[in-house]
């Protein structure tokens, strides 16, 4: 086992393949994995469960300050609990996708979760793939490899539709993907690669090809 540090930061819009590709890349390099979007989703679930008014920024922040989150950091088993309740499936439901931007646009909430994310990277011994919207730019701008994973809107909508098993119509998918990205873009720029960030466009790549492209980008960044 090597203990050489390897922090890989990955950002991108909804449905670009961040979670699935990041997990595969973590397994390839033998790294821990952090899904930061799951943290914002779990906090949304908690606020809804606590009947917090999502338009009340102070109430949302108060909930975040007492957020009883427990999250695993292995790529092969997803573990997310809030106050002992398994929320792995619940946080992917459309009602969460539709409300999560209200939580993620709260500055105080972001500061709290960003600190938790930096702690997670440190606790991994700096051997982790972390993915989200602001990992390459805010959470870990000092990562050893920084990647922006994109795909055309059409491709991302189609992927999300398939992933949700055809349960959502086009309008619902557009709300959960395009409209959410538009809201999230007001907080972070995850459509253009910042300086030093490698862009991987997966529009014309299948899953395996995308993983290979990211691994190649990581290897290249490590040699710099
Ligand atoms: N390059 C690809 N080609 C085809 N399907 C992909 C590709 N990358 C990801 N997927 C699939 O698209 C869906 C969305 O991917 P996901 O990792 O959840 O995206 P994100 O985390 O960016 O929202 C998943 O079902 C995933 O398996
Ligand atoms: N680092 C991050 C990660 C996610 N978010 C917000 C923005 C997103 O709408 C939600 C959910 O993120 P998630 O990565 O689960 O979303 P997708 O799987 O890409 O659809 O959290 C964020 O603001 N910052």
What is the reported pLDDT for 212?
98
Which of 34, 38, 100 should be mutated for ligand 2, with most atoms under 8 A from CB? Answer: 100
pLDDT by 10-residue block (mean), the chain, 224 residues:
87 96 98 98 98 97 97 97 98 93 96 98 98 98 98 96 92 93 92 94 97 98 90
Which of 10, 13, 17 should be mutated for ligand 1, with most atoms under 8 A from CB? Answer: 17
For 159-182, the DSSP string reads HHHHHTTT-S-HHHHHIIIIIHHH
What is the reported pLDDT for 1?
53
What are the structural domain ranges in the chain? 7-223
Q: Tell me, what's the ipTM?
A: 0.97
The answer to whether 14 is annotated as binding is yes
Give distance in angstroms: CA of 173 to centre of ligand 1: 14
The answer to whether 72 is annotated as binding is no
Decide if 194 contacts 8 (C-beta within 8 A). no
**CATH number of this structure's domain 7-223:** 3.40.50.300
- Tell me the two tokens of residue 201: 């466009």
Q: For 8, phi and psi rounded to 5 degrees?
A: -115, 120
Task: For the full predicted model, state whether its pTM sits above 0.90.
Answer: yes
Tell me if 160 CB under 6 Å of ligand 2: no
Cα–Cα distance measured from residue 183 to residue 185, given in angstroms and rounded to the nearest whole number: 5
What is the reported pLDDT for 131?
98
The DSSP letter of residue 71 is E
């Amino acid at each position: 086992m090597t203990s050489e540090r390897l922090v890989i930061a990955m950002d991108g819009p909804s449905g670009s393949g961040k979670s699935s590709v990041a997990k595969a890349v973590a397994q390839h390099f033998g790294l821990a994995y952090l899904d930061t979007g799951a943290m914002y989703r779990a906090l949304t679930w908690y606020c809804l469960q606590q009947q917090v008014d999502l338009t009340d920024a102070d109430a949302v922040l108060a909930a975040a300050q007492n957020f009883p989150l427990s999250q695993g950091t292995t790529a092969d088993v997803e573990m997310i609990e809030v106050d002992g309740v398994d929320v792995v499936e619940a946080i992917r439901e459309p009602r969460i996708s539709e409300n999560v931007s209200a939580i993620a646009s709260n500055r105080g909430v972001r500061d709290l979760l960003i600190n938790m994310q930096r702690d997670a990277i440190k606790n991994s011994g700096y051997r982790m793939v972390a993915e989200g919207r602001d990992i390459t730019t805010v959470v870990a701008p000092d990562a050893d490899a920084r990647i922006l994973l994109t795909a055309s809107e059409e491709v991302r909508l189609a992927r999300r539709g398939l992933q949700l098993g055809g349960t959502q119509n086009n309008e619902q998918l557009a709300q959960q993907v395009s409209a959410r990205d538009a809201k999230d873009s007001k907080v972070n720029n995850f459509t253009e690669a910042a300086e030093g960030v490698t862009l991987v466009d997966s529009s014309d790549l299948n899953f395996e090809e995308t993983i290979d492209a990211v691994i190649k980008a990581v290897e290249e960044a490590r040699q710099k």
